[in-house]
Structure 1
Amino acid sequence: MVKQEKIMKKAGRKEAVSIKLAGFPGGADGFELVARFCYNNGRVLLCPSNLPVLHCAAVFLEMTEEVCACNLLAQAEAFVNGLCYWTWGDVLTAVRSCEPFAAAADSSGLLERLISALFSKITATPETPTAAASAACGGGMGTPNRSSSSCSSSPDTVGFGRSSSSATKTPESMRPCAGREWWFDDMTSLSPPTIEKVMRVLGCYGVENKNLILTRFLLHYLRAATRRPPALCEGEREGAAALAGLADTAVHGVALVGGTAFSCRGLFWVLRIVSAVGLSRECRHKLERLMGLMLDQATLDDLLVSGDDGGVYDVNLVMRLVRVFVASEEEADAPSQRMRKVGRLVDKYLGEISPDHGLKVSKFLAVAESLPDSARDCYDGVYRALDIYLESHPVLSLEERTTLCRCLNYEKLTLEACKDLAKNRRIPPGVAVQALASQQCKLHISEPGPGAAAPATKERRPDPSACSQSQTPRRRVARRATRSVDLGGCRGGGGDDDEKELLRLNLQRMQSRVVELERACKEMKGQMSKMAKGKSFSFGAGAASCHQTGGRGLPRLC
Structure 2
Amino acid sequence: MAASINNSNRLSLAMERTGQWVFSQNIPTDVLVEVGEATFNLHKFMLVAKSNYIRKLILESNEPDLTRIDLSDIPGGPEIFEKAAKFCYGVNFEITIHNVAALRCAAEYLQMTDKYCDGNLAGRTEDFLSQVALSSLSGALVVLKSCEDLLPMAEELNIVKRCVDLATAKACNEANFPSRSPPNWWTEELSILDVSSFEKLVAAMKSRGAKSLTLASAIVTYAERSLRDLVRDHSGNGIRSLHSDDSDARVRQRDLLESIVALMPAEKAVFPINFLCCLLRTAIFLRAAAGCKVELEKRVSAILEHVTVEDLVVLSVTYNGERLFDLESVRRIVSGVRGEGEERGGVQRRRFQGGVFDGDA
Same fold at TM > 0.5: yes
Q: Which letter maps to 2:135? A: W
Assess, with a 3 A threshold, how the Cα gap between structure 1 residues 48 and 267 changes in structure 2: closer, same or farther.
Answer: closer
CA–CA separation in structure 2 for the residues paired with 1:188 and 1:115: 14
Q: Are 1:322 and 2:331 an aligned pair?
A: yes
Give the secondary-structure state (helix, strand or coil) at the position aligned to 2:152: helix
Cα distance per residue 1:503-551 (max 9 Å; x no partner) = xxxxxxxxxxxxxxxxxxxxxxxxxxxxxxxxxxxxxxxxxxxxxxxxx
Q: CA deviation at 1:273?
A: 5.4
CA–CA separation in structure 2 for the residues paired with 1:283 and 1:305: 15
Figure out how many residues of one structure are paired with residues of the other and give that number.
270
Aligned equivalent of 2:135: 86
Aligned equivalent of 2:189: 186
Match runs of 1:24-103 below 5 Å? 24-40=74-90, 45-82=94-131, 86-103=135-152
Aligned equivalent of 1:112: 161
Q: Which letter maps to 1:301? A: E
Match runs of 1:451-462 below 5 Å? none
- Which of 279, 284, 294 is 1:285 aligned to? 294
Contact 1:26-1:101 within 8 A present in 2 as well: yes
Match runs of 1:198-347 below 5 Å? 198-202=201-205, 211-227=212-228, 240=253, 243-250=256-263, 252-253=264-265, 256-259=266-269, 261-262=270-271, 264-272=273-281, 279-292=288-301, 294-295=303-304, 297-308=306-317, 312-316=322-326, 318-323=327-332, 325-326=334-335
Q: CA deviation at 1:263?
A: 6.0
Contact 1:65-1:71 within 8 A present in 2 as well: yes
Cα distance per residue 1:426-464 (max 9 Å; x no partner) = xxxxxxxxxxxxxxxxxxxxxxxxxxxxxxxxxxxxxxx
Aligned equivalent of 1:446: none
Q: CA deviation at 1:246?
A: 3.0
Assess, with a 3 A threshold, how the Cα gap between structure 1 residues 297 and 214 changes in structure 2: closer, same or farther.
Answer: closer
Q: CA deviation at 1:281?
A: 1.8
Contact 2:114-2:123 within 8 A present in 1 as well: yes
Contact 2:107-2:122 within 8 A present in 1 as well: yes
Q: CA deviation at 1:78?
A: 2.8
CA–CA separation in structure 1 for the residues paired with 2:258 and 2:66: 49
Q: Which letter maps to 1:52? A: A
Q: Which letter maps to 2:325? A: V
Q: CA deviation at 1:85?
A: 7.2
Assess, with a 3 A threshold, how the Cα gap between structure 1 residues 238 and 103 changes in structure 2: closer, same or farther.
Answer: farther
CA–CA separation in structure 1 for the residues paired with 2:96 and 2:133: 14
Aligned equivalent of 2:343: none
Contact 1:96-1:190 within 8 A present in 2 as well: yes
CA–CA separation in structure 2 for the residues paired with 1:278 and 1:210: 31
Q: Which letter maps to 1:40? A: G
CA–CA separation in structure 2 for the residues paired with 1:181 and 1:271: 24
Match runs of 1:419-438 below 5 Å? none
Match runs of 1:540-551 below 5 Å? none
Assess, with a 3 A threshold, how the Cα gap between structure 1 residues 240 and 24 changes in structure 2: closer, same or farther.
Answer: farther
TM-score normalised by L of structure 1: 0.41
CA–CA separation in structure 2 for the residues paired with 1:305 and 1:192: 26
CA–CA separation in structure 2 for the residues paired with 1:217 and 1:277: 23
Contact 2:97-2:133 within 8 A present in 1 as well: no
Give the secondary-structure state (helix, strand or coil) at the position aligned to 1:76: helix
CA–CA separation in structure 1 for the residues paired with 2:168 and 2:301: 36
TM-score normalised by L of structure 2: 0.60
Contact 1:264-1:298 within 8 A present in 2 as well: yes
Q: CA deviation at 1:265?
A: 4.3
Q: CA deviation at 1:51?
A: 1.4
Q: Which letter maps to 1:285? A: V
In our comparison, the structure showing a higher alpha carbon Rg is 1
Q: Which runs of 5+ in 1 are unaligned?
A: 5-14, 130-145, 148-179, 329-349, 365-385, 387-558
Q: CA deviation at 1:34?
A: 0.3
Q: Which letter maps to 1:187? A: L
Cα distance per residue 1:334-360 (max 9 Å; x no partner) = xxxxxxxxxxxxxxxx9x945479x54
Give the secondary-structure state (helix, strand or coil) at the position aligned to 1:25: coil
CA–CA separation in structure 2 for the residues paired with 1:216 and 1:61: 42
Question: What's the % identity of the aligned pairs?
Answer: 21
Assess, with a 3 A threshold, how the Cα gap between structure 1 residues 19 and 127 changes in structure 2: closer, same or farther.
Answer: same
Contact 1:295-1:321 within 8 A present in 2 as well: no
Q: CA deviation at 1:108?
A: 2.0
Assess, with a 3 A threshold, how the Cα gap between structure 1 residues 236 and 22 changes in structure 2: closer, same or farther.
Answer: farther
Q: CA deviation at 1:52?
A: 1.0
